[in-house]
Structure 1
Amino acid sequence: MSALIGVPEEFDVIVIGGGPAGSTTAGLLAKRGHRVLVLDRERFPRYHVGESLIPAFMRPMQELGLTERMDKRGFERKYGGTLVWGNAQVPWNFSFIEGGTHEYAYHTRRADMDSLILDRARELGAYIIEEATVKGPIETEGRVTGVRFTLRGTDGVHEARAKLVVDASGQARLLSRKYADITWHEELRNVAVWTYFDNCERLPGDEYTNILIEGLDEGWFWAIPIDKGTISVGYVTRSEEAGKHASLEAMFRTEAEKSTKLKKMLAGANQAAGWRSARDWSYTSQSFTGNGWVCVGDSAAFVDPLFSTGVALATLAGSTLSKIVDQIIQHPKIEEQALKRYVTAYRGFFDEIRSFVERFYDRTKYKEFYHSLAQEMVDPERERTPSADFVQLISGLSGNHPMLTLTIDDLIDQEGASVPAQN
């Protein structure tokens, strides 16, 4: 085994994966003075779907000091959305400003955005090794104490060790796959097929920067403006429905012809990329943590992309996890109880979004029903209007959720040792 030039072999934390979840976790831990290693199998920038973001994403970006840089990079601000959903197919809109503290998020090419976050983690002091493939964990007396990895273009296997290993490897689930099964969410066993178009007509007036979500009888389309006349367009439907078509591409074309607003946007457009697809992706890992390891982002759970929650959930979890791990490193005795709190908050936040998405999939209702459903979930005391509750929920900023307010101060006494957990 050979050492890498200038890279130590002992770290406070190793993060597997340099996507938004991993780079947010690593960057904020490095900002707190910890020695962090990030390993990613790709060389950034690299392609990833998920170009539309929600306001909850802005919180961890503020912590990282990236919000002004996103504007300077020319990422297009997203102020809300346009839906053709229920309501007898009458379009309706929402505006993020109604839901809380952040009035906008962004649409962006994920290759550019993900590189921006990873570069910020590097700038904050994290060691970043790209083109590194993690082969598996190192275990010492039943605890994960590091990882083995290979480096593209070199022979041999390298080792790195740490006090804690974070699995942010996305749907590869490099550690969680080894130590835990997943639960598929049957109501959301869907297929998506998508591509990109140039020379598209944009939505009119105040809707210009909106994401379009257009529901049809058997599925729904997204249309995300990325820049100028380029949009990402995808169709999502049940797995069994997709099987009725000759191909996913044929299904896309057939269903696009049934659309209204989307069809108008695509009238003079030309396809500018190939086809991509994904299926059966809504799941939850049965364990988010174990002895010496913890999950964040898609390695823990992923929900249907209806409201573009994936990146926001991943980076919010990364922010929360960085605070927890910072305290665990200082006070190792609290590890088990502290990570349990993180997992409980993370599962609760995820399940709230998943439950809403599952119930929102009933496209027979009116917008007032969806607004009331959101209020029932996040504001049962009815302190705000139903429409404000709806926007707050789909913004990822649903009130005083533990995911946004989690503390573990009571687990640490004045001397920095653990205290008995409260039942």
Structure 2
Amino acid sequence: MSSRELTVDAVVIGGGPAGSSAAHLLALWGHSVTLLWRPAPRPAVAESLPPSSFKLLDRIGVREVIEGAAFPRSTGNSVKWDDGETPRVELFPDKSCGLQVRRDLLDRLLLREAARAGATIRRAGVRDVIPEEGGDMSRVGFGTAGGSSIVRARWVLDCSGRARLSSRHDRPAPNATPRTLALICTWERTAWPITDASHTLVESYDEGWAWSVPLSRRRRQIAVMLDPPRGRSRESLGQRYHAELAKTNWLRDVSAGARTVSGPWARDASAYIARSIGEQRLLRVGDAASFVDPLSSYGIKKALASAWLAAVVTHTCLTSPALTEAALGHYSACERRMYVALQRRFAEMSRAPAHAYGTEFWEHRAAFASAAPSAELSREPVVAALRELKARPSHRFRLAAPVRQVERPLVRGNRLVLEPHLAAPALDEEIRYVRNVDVVRLVALAPQYDEVPSLFEAYNRATPPASRVPLTDFLGVLSTLVGARVLDLA
């Protein structure tokens, strides 16, 4: 048994998209990074990468590699929801294409690119993460075939997914959403009876919902998402899977005539969020921070977004320690905001099946829409403000008395900086950009102009060409500021 120690800027735990992307970026930005990972013991799952994820792949520097891999292209989704008779086709906008990826192959590519960027990749199992007294370093214990080792790190990024290896004894925060079990099977047939074989297929049924993602022209994975059994079930996994698939209409017919290649196997697909997302010297990233219902198709995209922001925060803390507290608060707030927004979206999508089927499965999930907190401003005052702006040829804007400017973190390049944000009683949080409109610049210009067209032209003149906004977005944000009593109309 050997005992060796080294010291690095960051240890990344986990070799999925979140871990490899965060390690890649930190290494590119000049930091010493060790990534510790162990291959997942479960079978590989097919997942979707929507076209909107390519911007994140660009930021991380791996888009060309991922697009150049032999992953099937996808033009969109086909969805049969709330007991509708025929599936509806949902194409990606502007004739764009996404990718259907097998997670183990994607993970392998991203790990390779992280190593090329300068990260040290170690195949190892993490035993523990122990902060040193004084708070400047953490000790990460891990084991390899050659024995046990310890690496000391200024920052630890836990990207270990549901395992949450940095907090084995810390349960996630209480969650209002019901638990969900995924049963997954790989099927094969020569030709699938669907309009577009590249699509992700989604179907709701009375006791759950099902999805299917292609692995190749011949193979697809089909999963059913359901409530976990209450108490001990006498059914085998295979019996339960096929009984649930038989409750569907469309996917049952799609799979008729196909043969099973592997599975079924079970995965916990319950939503959760960690009690602590960012703390001194430790960030939880991707699924280690939170997990959202896979209906959103945001699994990998969410992991990439989380990894990018975690890398920015870690880089900021390493290079500007005075910003550590603000950076940690910003990271935690962004993760929680994304989690609530995606869960609310799923809850709203659950309303139609809840009405169509009237079952406990859907009613419980739809209930989250009214239980989840919302940071959005009520629609009525915004609509009223828009009507008033359009009804009168001229206006005199003035900044409302309770509005103030506060310094809050904002991403600039690859680091966080403190810049002015607007705070007002009607806003649940301080804001700087809404629909890409710089609201600090807008409220500074507004009192100088009597007509909205002149204000719009002045705003875009004062804005760099790449950041100029269309009139529709500008009017929407101006109406929001008036509706929230950030700007008053004299």
**TM-score (structure 1 length as normaliser):** 0.80
Residues 124 and 378 (structure 1), Cα distance of their counterparts in 2 relative to 1, 3 Å cut? farther
Q: Is the 8 A contact 2:138 2:153 kept in 1?
A: yes
Give the counterpart letter for 2:157 in structure 1.
V
Residue number in structure 2 paired with 1:113: 106
Q: Secondary structure at the match of 1:108?
A: strand
Residues 298 and 13 (structure 1), Cα distance of their counterparts in 2 relative to 1, 3 Å cut? same
Alignment of 1:159 with 2:150, yes or no, is: yes
Distance 1:240 1:359 in 2: 25
Residue number in structure 1 paired with 2:189: 199
Q: Secondary structure at the match of 2:215?
A: strand
Q: Is the 8 A contact 1:346 1:403 kept in 2?
A: no
Q: Is the 8 A contact 1:82 1:94 kept in 2?
A: yes
Residue number in structure 1 paired with 2:418: 410
Residue number in structure 2 paired with 1:330: 319
Residue number in structure 2 paired with 1:339: 328
Residues 307 and 241 (structure 1), Cα distance of their counterparts in 2 relative to 1, 3 Å cut? farther
- 1:84 aligned to 75, 80, 83, which one? 80
Which structure's CA Rg is the greater one?
2
1:91-240 mapped onto 2 (5 Å cutoff): 91-97=87-93, 103-130=96-123, 132-141=124-133, 143=135, 145-155=137-147, 157-178=148-169, 180-199=170-189, 201-202=191-192, 204-205=194-195, 207-240=196-229
Residues 281 and 142 (structure 1), Cα distance of their counterparts in 2 relative to 1, 3 Å cut? farther
Residue range with higher mean Cα deviation, 245-254 or 18-27:
245-254
> When the two structures are aligned, how many residues end up with a matched partner?
377
Residue number in structure 2 paired with 1:418: none
Distance 1:185 1:104 in 2: 35
Give the counterpart letter for 2:34 in structure 1.
L
Query: By how many angstroms is 1:254 displaced?
Result: 2.0
Q: Deviations over 1:52-73 (max 9, x none)?
A: 2233432221123322322332
- 1:262 aligned to 251, 276, 285, which one? 251
1:49-64 mapped onto 2 (5 Å cutoff): 49-64=45-60
Query: By how many angstroms is 1:18 displaced?
Result: 1.3
Q: Is the 8 A contact 1:145 1:163 kept in 2?
A: yes
Q: Secondary structure at the match of 2:225?
A: strand
Query: By how many angstroms is 1:144 displaced?
Result: 7.0
Q: Is the 8 A contact 2:312 2:414 kept in 1?
A: no
Q: Secondary structure at the match of 1:113?
A: helix
Query: By how many angstroms is 1:119 displaced?
Result: 0.7
Q: Secondary structure at the match of 1:349?
A: helix
Query: By how many angstroms is 1:242 displaced?
Result: 9.7
Distance 1:284 1:404 in 2: 27
Query: By how many angstroms is 1:109 displaced?
Result: 1.2
Residue number in structure 1 paired with 2:39: 42
Residues 38 and 256 (structure 1), Cα distance of their counterparts in 2 relative to 1, 3 Å cut? same
Residues 337 and 318 (structure 1), Cα distance of their counterparts in 2 relative to 1, 3 Å cut? same
Residue number in structure 2 paired with 1:65: 61
Q: Secondary structure at the match of 2:344?
A: helix
Query: By how many angstroms is 1:110 displaced?
Result: 0.9
Q: Is the 8 A contact 1:75 1:108 kept in 2?
A: yes
Distance 1:41 1:330 in 2: 30
Give identity over the alignment, percent: 27
Query: By how many angstroms is 1:377 displaced?
Result: 9.2
Distance 1:267 1:333 in 2: 61
Q: Secondary structure at the match of 2:118?
A: coil
Query: By how many angstroms is 1:280 displaced?
Result: 5.8
Give the counterpart letter for 2:73 in structure 1.
R
Q: Is the 8 A contact 1:201 1:268 kept in 2?
A: no
Distance 1:323 1:406 in 2: 5
Residues 204 and 233 (structure 1), Cα distance of their counterparts in 2 relative to 1, 3 Å cut? closer
**TM-score (structure 2 length as normaliser):** 0.69
Query: By how many angstroms is 1:281 displaced?
Result: 2.5
Alignment of 1:252 with 2:241, yes or no, is: yes
Residue number in structure 1 paired with 2:451: none
Residues 95 and 280 (structure 1), Cα distance of their counterparts in 2 relative to 1, 3 Å cut? closer
Residues 365 and 197 (structure 1), Cα distance of their counterparts in 2 relative to 1, 3 Å cut? same
Q: Is the 8 A contact 1:15 1:22 kept in 2?
A: yes
Q: Is the 8 A contact 2:60 2:308 kept in 1?
A: no
Query: By how many angstroms is 1:50 displaced?
Result: 4.8
Bigger relative contact order, structure 1 or 2 (CA pairs below 8 A, ≥6 apart): 1
Give the counterpart letter for 1:278 in structure 2.
R
Residue number in structure 1 paired with 2:394: none
Gaps spanning 5+ residues in structure 1: where? 383-401, 413-421
- 1:14 aligned to 11, 16, 22, which one? 11
Residue number in structure 2 paired with 1:360: 349
Distance 2:48 2:234 in 1: 28
Query: By how many angstroms is 1:319 displaced?
Result: 0.8
Q: Is the 8 A contact 2:296 2:342 kept in 1?
A: no
Q: Is the 8 A contact 2:83 2:205 kept in 1?
A: no
Q: Secondary structure at the match of 1:356?
A: helix
